[in-house]
């Protein structure tokens, strides 16, 4: 498994603005925010891409990640107006960091289609 910048954040070797942590999941503010609220929610185990998921094995993590996204959307007061959740996958999907992460974006009007 590759060691990414997110592994270093999980191990607290580099700083991040952590907004939630549990045994299995970490959430921190994106260093280059694309919206007033831009949080990354990641599993602590290294799963490179959404296409690497085995739901029988990892389903509990995805459940927890979506629960945390909803909790953080409420905490950051973007739940009522709405928000966007994004998993980029691979190069055509625009994924830069090969450690599974869910983007929680909110606080502004989103556009469709995405770029
Ligand atoms: P991707 O393009 O892979 O879906 O998203 C990776 C995200 O990680 C980008 O939005 C980028 O700004 C963010 N990112 C990359 N390096 C760091 C870092 O060192 N710290 C934090 N907080 N975010 C990072």
pLDDT digits (tens, 9 = 90+) for 8-49: 999 999 999 999 999 999 999 999 999 999 999 999 999 999
pTM above threshold 0.85: yes
| pLDDT surpassing 90 at residue 1 | no
Burial letters for 75-104: b for 16+ Cβ neighbours within 10 Å, e otherwise? ebebeeeebbeebbeeeeeebeebbbbbbb
* Distance from residue 55's CA to the centre of ligand 1 (Å): 24
* Domain boundaries 5-106, corresponding CATH code: 3.30.428.10
pLDDT at 115: 85
Side by side, the strands of the sheet bearing 18-21 are 18-21, 25-29, 37-43, 102-106, 83-86
pLDDT digits (tens, 9 = 90+) for 51-107: 999 999 999 999 999 999 999 999 999 999 999 999 999 999 999 999 999 999 999
Nearest ligand 1 atom to the CA of 86 is 4
28 lines ligand 1 (CB under 6 A): yes
Bridge partners, residue 84, by sequence: 105
Nearest ligand 1 atom to the CA of 96 is 3
Mutate to test the pocket of ligand 1, among 85, 89, 97, 100 (most ligand atoms within 8 A of CB): 97
Active site residue 38: no
Q: Which residues contact 16 (CB under 8 A, 6 or more apart)?
A: 9, 28, 29, 31
């Amino acid at each position: 498994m590759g060691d990414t910048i997110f592994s270093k954040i999980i191990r607290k070797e580099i700083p991040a603005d952590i907004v939630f942590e549990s045994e299995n999941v970490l959430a921190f503010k994106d260093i280059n925010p694309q919206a007033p609220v831009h949080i990354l929610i990641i599993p602590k185990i290294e799963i490179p891409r959404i296409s690497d998921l085995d739901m029988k094995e990892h389903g509990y993590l995805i459940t927890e990640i979506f629960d945390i996204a909803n909790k953080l959307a409420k905490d950051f007061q973007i739940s009522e107006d709405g928000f966007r959740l994004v998993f980029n996958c691979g190069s055509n999907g625009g994924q830069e960091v090969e450690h599974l992460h869910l983007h929680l974006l909110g606080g502004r009007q989103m556009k469709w289609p995405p770029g």
